[in-house]
Structure 1
Amino acid sequence: MNTTTDTSSRIALITGGSRGLGRSSALALAAQGIDLILTYQRQEADAQAVVAQAQALGRRAVALQLDVGEASRFPAFAEQVRQALRATWQRTHFDALVNNAGMGVHASFEATTEQQFDELARVHLKGPFFLTQALLPLLADGGRIVNVSSGLARFSFPGYAAYAVMKGGVEVLTRYLARELGPRGIAVNTLAPGAIATDFGGGAVRDDAALNAQLAAATAMGRVGQPDDIGAAVAALLAEGNRWMTGQRIEVSGGMML
């Protein structure tokens, strides 16, 4: 472990950083010169591969296990973050939080179960709310928060009612955090991806050619998104010169359903 003190590098904490949009965001930030704390739920090997890629780019990075659906663990996780900051950076604060981790449920409104609804709420709404609360003492004044929502909070596709309801809640949470954390100089924004070709939701957008073509036809730029489209947008939101934007919803969908 490199123990040289470095107070100049910025540090971003990304939940769900082992794959998909979280992985692309982590590597885009590393390429921008930002150090990383990633979380993973089960895929430790994938998370460590992202750490190695970030280190190859000259950045420091660590991976910590976290289930964002288990709010009772957040105080202990915050202590792990505190220890990682001390051991790896000799610092007490990080600079940006990206609430990205999530999972999907595809079910019609009529068929959605209470168990599915509650699981989505734990992961997508309660998780970001109370994880952000637990990490606030470690987030530097003048820092940033990006909450990942979805284009489905604006446009509607059958089968995503419960998921979209949670993301609508995340967008309201963003505005309240922006208002309440403004006195600390912390900017808080929502990033809302459109249809992205990842393994999310079983990989349907990536693997189902007919669905992919349908979504591409409904998109101004004529294709579905790729993970790196979102990673680049997260890096842009967290860029040094983007300090004056807060409380905003930025949709990164290539112009879906305009």
Structure 2
Amino acid sequence: MSNEKTTAIALITGASRGIGKSTALALAARGVDVIVTYVSAEKEATDVVQAIRGTGRKAVALRLDLTQVGTFDAFVADVKRQLSSVWSRDTFDFLVNNGGSGGFSAFSETSEAAFDTLVDVHFKGPFFLTQKLLPVLADGGRIVNVSTGLTRYAVSGVAVYSAVKSALEVLTRALALELGPRRINVNAVAPGGIATDFGGGLMRDEQFQKVVAGETPLGRVGEPEDVADVIASLLSKDTRWITGQRVEVTGGYRL
């Protein structure tokens, strides 16, 4: 199999909607091919693939449940098959650990099951998925982990979510150090309030948007494209000397 690289390939988890979808489209617009993953929204993921193909880029959609670490070997095998059949390659270039789920509950009311789910989705899953994908990630590649502005400022009801995202940011620095010899840059992007359906679509509520905008120097809530463009920048050659960093994308919320 030829390992000659012509077009960069990105693998984006949770790319059927929100920030993941916008990132996939932003990268396609910049000439990058995309492997999209989804958990249950197969139609939405297929729509994203079709939109990418409409730009002239290649794309495929694969199912991935970040809470099921035992399925990761099969997923990686599927990635390898797609790389071979679609791209005649055995590596990809960019990994964006974006997949996630919301969870809102007071600390005193958080169940063990809810705790475990958030840890699995936002830390254990990305940890072991990245580990499994490392042999397939090209030297000189990039990893972007999607964190949250909530690791800097406190909001009631998201103690576990904020804590596991903090762990992901620490992991980002550790990976930047350990993968440096392979020239793999690893960074984290920390979005603030973004108008998506994440967490039940709270940020789409007009009254809540006004509250957030009132505490944001730039005077509005974020859009998925605001984050997607930053991720795309971190995957470009323009940011080749940046690694191990947390880049906040909040419009200056609660400075």
Taking structure 2 as the reference length, the TM-score comes to 0.98
Match of 1:190 among 185, 188, 191: 188
Q: Provide the aligned C-alpha RMSD in A.
A: 1.2
Q: Are the aligned partners of 1:38 and 1:47 in contact in 2 as well (CA < 8 Å)?
A: yes
Instruction: Show the counterpart of 1:11.
Output: 9
Aligned residues: 254
Q: Are the aligned partners of 2:3 and 2:90 in contact in 1 as well (CA < 8 Å)?
A: no
Instruction: Show the counterpart of 1:238.
Output: 235
Aligned ranges 1:55-134 → 2 under 5 Å = 55-134=53-132
Q: Which runs of 5+ in 1 are unaligned?
A: none
Q: Are the aligned partners of 2:92 and 2:137 in contact in 1 as well (CA < 8 Å)?
A: yes
Q: Are positions 1:211 and 2:218 aligned together?
A: no
Work out the CA distance in 2 between the residues paired with 1:72 and 1:152. 30
Counterpart AA for 2:86: T
Work out the CA distance in 2 between the residues paired with 1:6 and 1:233. 28
1:12-55 C-alpha deviation (Å, 9 max, x unpaired): 00000110110000000000100000100011111111111111
1:7 Cα deviation from its structure 2 partner: 2.8
Work out the CA distance in 2 between the residues paired with 1:188 and 1:5. 23
1:241 Cα deviation from its structure 2 partner: 2.1
Counterpart AA for 1:140: A
Secondary structure at 1:224's aligned position in 2? coil
Q: Are the aligned partners of 1:41 and 1:65 in contact in 2 as well (CA < 8 Å)?
A: yes
Secondary structure at 1:169's aligned position in 2? helix
Q: Are the aligned partners of 2:36 and 2:59 in contact in 1 as well (CA < 8 Å)?
A: yes
Secondary structure at 2:221's aligned position in 1? coil
1:58-97 C-alpha deviation (Å, 9 max, x unpaired): 1000000010111111111010000000000000000000
Aligned ranges 1:122-161 → 2 under 5 Å = 122-161=120-159
Off by >6 Å, runs of 4+ in structure 1: none
Instruction: Show the counterpart of 1:28.
Output: 26
Match of 1:221 among 218, 223, 226: 218
Work out the CA distance in 1 between the residues paired with 2:237 and 2:73. 29
Instruction: Show the counterpart of 2:52.
Output: 54
Q: Are the aligned partners of 1:6 and 1:89 in contact in 2 as well (CA < 8 Å)?
A: no
Indicate the percent of aligned positions where both proteins have the same amino acid: 54
1:78-135 C-alpha deviation (Å, 9 max, x unpaired): 1000000000000000000000000000111111111110000010000010000000
Counterpart AA for 2:159: A
Taking structure 1 as the reference length, the TM-score comes to 0.97
1:180-226 C-alpha deviation (Å, 9 max, x unpaired): 000000000000000001000100111x2221111111111010001
1:5 Cα deviation from its structure 2 partner: 9.6
Q: Are the aligned partners of 1:7 and 1:89 in contact in 2 as well (CA < 8 Å)?
A: no
Counterpart AA for 2:219: G
Work out the CA distance in 1 between the residues paired with 2:59 and 2:94. 14
1:117-159 C-alpha deviation (Å, 9 max, x unpaired): 0000010000010000000000000000000000001101101
Q: Are the aligned partners of 2:3 and 2:91 in contact in 1 as well (CA < 8 Å)?
A: no
Q: Are the aligned partners of 1:5 and 1:89 in contact in 2 as well (CA < 8 Å)?
A: no
